[in-house]
Structure 1
Amino acid sequence: MTADTDPAPSGPPDPQADPDVVDLLEPADGVPPLVTDRTALSDAAAALGSGHGPVAVDAERASGYRYSARAYLVQLRREGAGTFLVDPIACGGDLGELGEALRGVEWVLHAASQDLACLAEVGMRPDSLFDTELAGRLVGYPRVGLGPLTEHLLGVRLQKGHGAADWSRRPLPADWLTYAALDVELLVELRDRVAADLDRQGKTAWAEQEFEAVRLAPPPPPRAEPWRRTSGVHKVRRPAALAVVRELWESRDELAAARDVAPGRLLPDAAIVDAALREPARRDELIAMPVFRGRAQRRLADRWWSAIERARALPRPRWPASAPAPD
């Protein structure tokens, strides 16, 4: 699970922690082998299809490392079948066989809206959904991250610490796979406990409507001016300088998409804002600035300087407005 609403701190156990809470460090059945070919994928689909009850599903992405939001690992667990860790990349990016095997089965996800898009991209779409994070919010639990919720309701502390890792890395480290397997180890049991509280509060039907809305929600429309989300852009007031921010942002975004690299790893937002505010007059002045003088930035200096020159060549009517247009 790439993000957790209330992530538990990494590091050694807190000596002040509840002594009745058990640390879960390994899956009960051990960490399963990684599914990396079509034969193993077919075997996993057959096993999951013959299991019973809901299926726990999770996905790991590489947010902060990759431009795309694709799934680099998919975890599934179902009673009677066990846990499966599936590498979508090694399996050709098509896990539709798993999706077909689980038709009509309730899928249990935590913070489902984070994972449904990347699951759909590999051919996995649930017919029925239970979202433990959303359910926790409806019940009114004070903390609804997977770790805190599991600890509160089941008395079990999950291993944490790899949610923000680069899941595009290969081979995946053994401790990462342990973490991934644990994310679905107790998810169905957690679902049952939350569902019982929903029922006691008379909120089951309401929750089902909310789950269905999440399941069927279309992708959000693209933002009209996504470059305005550049961190620190509020410091840039003049429209001519905002044009520099826009051109640098768009040039960076184009390159990031082509390389499938997170934009901030090519050029930090702070560097874009700094260039707009300092107004370097020549390429040499640009590469003398703190971020731009690095080796990686020197290789891209022509690209960034061309973006600045394009912005400065724009006629005044094509400068961005000082404030964004209302949505």
Structure 2
Amino acid sequence: MTPYSYIDTPDALERAVQRLATQPLLGIDTEAAGYHRYLDRISLVQISSREETVLIDPLALPDLDQLGAIVENDAIEKVFHDADFDLRILDRDLKLHVSHLFDTQIAAAFLGVRTLGLGAILEAVLGIVVPKAFQRADWAERPLTEGMKEYAATDTVHLPALRDVLRERLTAAGRLAWAEEEFVRRAQTRWTPPDTTDAFLKIKGARDLTRRALALLRELHAWRETVAAERDQAPFRVVMNEVLLLIAREAPTTAAALRGIKGLSPGLVGRRGDEILAAVERGLAVPDDDLPRFPRAERWERDPALEARGERLRDARNRIAESLDLDPGFVASRAALDDVARVRPTTADALAAVPGLRRWQVEVLGDELLRVLRAETP
């Protein structure tokens, strides 16, 4: 069992923040309810020092500004695992921005680890097996079960010790500065609203529909969003995408035909069947000239020389990654190498000026990339 304190009153929060703000290092994680709820929201904040673990309930504590004394304090190192989502929802929901970050996923990747889930890394590095039973739990549920609280506590209680081992190994490998550069970049992560324009077109399988069926899908998707918002339920829990596609293809116009749609529950047909049929009717009524279509893809001209240059750069990247026992895509993405191929820098300074290229990537790859580029320079 992992000992923890559950914080759900302002006084308890104030005392916990006062204690934690004196610590030099804290493990932090968050839980949200996006898998279950329409309105994804931060539903739990877990913080572990080397001495204690607290679970903070944002649903009971609407004002969490005090946490700024911890997460925005440069004197406190904050240890996250795969901080990307946590940083986004801390920014979105609490307007908090993390400083002095150590991300154990990034650290492990720099050590050549390929399986980067927290459970796998804890088992491989510390020999600790953590439970997985509540990975898809509804964290907006109240009261949380004791099992959920225990699971949440284990997400942070081992982070300080894991950080220590990973940092020591990075230092021994001469890669700590590389990881620290990525930590700083990761800490700049902010929430960006998703683009919901024509979201129905982003459903996998929509491209296989006729334009008439797309019109039905558009109406059905809009109906599902309305119901999901009304019920505060993730849209796929109202109706799966595959079922929406099937309705759009078959265009049922009667309750009997609707009941024949595979995957559509009788209960939903009974409660919402008229609404679904109305959505189908609206889609069938769209004039031919107004039927939706996928935007035309931008045309681009192939550049065989550019493609060959990019391939040579990737070969060089792959050789270096193999020598370092690192994943090639982690050492440098295809997109980054394509940018280098387009710019064609021939000096270290010019290579370092390629947008998005990290200092550590220039250090690791620079000589080989420049050798490839110089070899084709007349």
- 2 CA distance for matches of 1:321 and 1:214? 37
* CA displacement at 1:323 relative to structure 2: 6.6
Match in the other structure for 2:185:
213
Assess, with a 3 A threshold, how the Cα gap between structure 1 residues 195 and 90 changes in structure 2: closer, same or farther.
same
On the 8 A contact 1:76/1:184 being kept in 2, the answer is yes
**Which residue of 79, 85, 108 corresponds with 2:50?**
79
Q: Which residue of 1 aligns with 2:69?
A: 100
- Normalised to the residue count of structure 1, the TM-score between the two structures is 0.82
How far the C-alpha of 1:66 sits from its partner, in A, is 0.7
Structure 1 residue 293 displacement after superposition: 5.1
Helix, strand or coil: the match of 1:167?
Answer: coil
TM-score (normalised: structure 2): 0.72
Give 3-state SS (helix, strand or coil) of 2:40's partner: coil
Q: 1:151 and 1:286, CA in 2 relative to 1: closer, same or farther beyond 3 A?
A: same
The reply on whether 1:59 has 2:30 as its aligned counterpart is yes
Give the equivalent residue in structure 2 for 1:125: 97
What is the 5 A alignment of 1:207-286?
207-220=179-192, 222-223=194-195, 224-234=197-207, 236-286=208-258
Residue of structure 1 aligned with 2:81, choices 101, 107, 110: 110
2:171 corresponds to which of 199, 202, 220: 199
Return closer, same or farther for 1:79/1:201 CA change in 2, 3 Å cut-off: same
* Larger relative contact order (CA 8 Å, sep ≥ 6): 1
Deviates further, 264-273 or 133-142:
133-142
User: What 5-or-longer segments of structure 2 have no aligned partner?
Assistant: 299-378
Is the CA contact (8 Å cut-off) linking 2:88 and 2:190 kept in structure 1? no
1:277-297: CA deviation from partner (whole Å, max 9, x where unpaired)? 112133542244344452233
Question: 1:220-259 deviations in whole A, cap 9, x for unaligned?
Answer: 463343223324435x331110121122112212332343
**Contact 1:292 1:301 survives alignment (8 Å):** no
Report the aligned-residue RMSD: 2.3
User: Contact 2:36–2:138 at 8 Å: present in 1 too?
Assistant: yes
Please identify, of 168-177 and 202-211, the stretch whose mean Cα deviation from structure 2 is larger.
Answer: 202-211
Alpha-carbon distance between aligned partners in 2 of 1:36 and 1:316, rounded to the nearest angstrom? 57
Displacement of 1:268: 1.5
Would you say 1:69 and 2:47 are equivalent positions?
no
Number of matched pairs: 295
Task: Check 1:325–1:297 CA distance in 2 against 1; reply closer, same or farther (3 A cut).
Answer: farther
Distance 1:312 1:228 in 2: 17
Q: Give the structure with higher Rg (CA).
A: 2
What SS does structure 2 have at the residue aligned with 1:156? coil
Aligned partners of 2:265, 2:116: CA distance in 1, in Å? 43
> Is this contact kept in 2: 1:88–1:122, CA < 8 A?
no
Q: Structure 1 stretch 281-290 or stretch 179-188: which is displaced more? A: 281-290
Partners of 1:293 and 1:190 in 2: how far apart? 46
Report the CA distance shift for 1:42/1:69 in structure 2 as closer, same or farther (over 3 A). Answer: same
Q: Which whole-Å CA distance do the structure 1 matches of 2:238 and 2:278 have between them?
A: 16
1:143 paired with 2:112, answer: no
Alignment gaps of 5+ in structure 1:
1-25
Contact preservation (8 Å) 1:292, 1:298: no
Q: Cα 1:101–1:220, aligned 2, differ >3 Å: closer, same or farther?
A: closer
Q: Is the 8 A contact 2:87 2:190 kept in 1?
A: no
- What is the deviation of 1:324? 6.9
Question: What percent of counterpart residues are identical?
Answer: 32
What does 1:281-320 align with in structure 2 at a 5 Å threshold?
281-292=253-264, 294-320=266-292
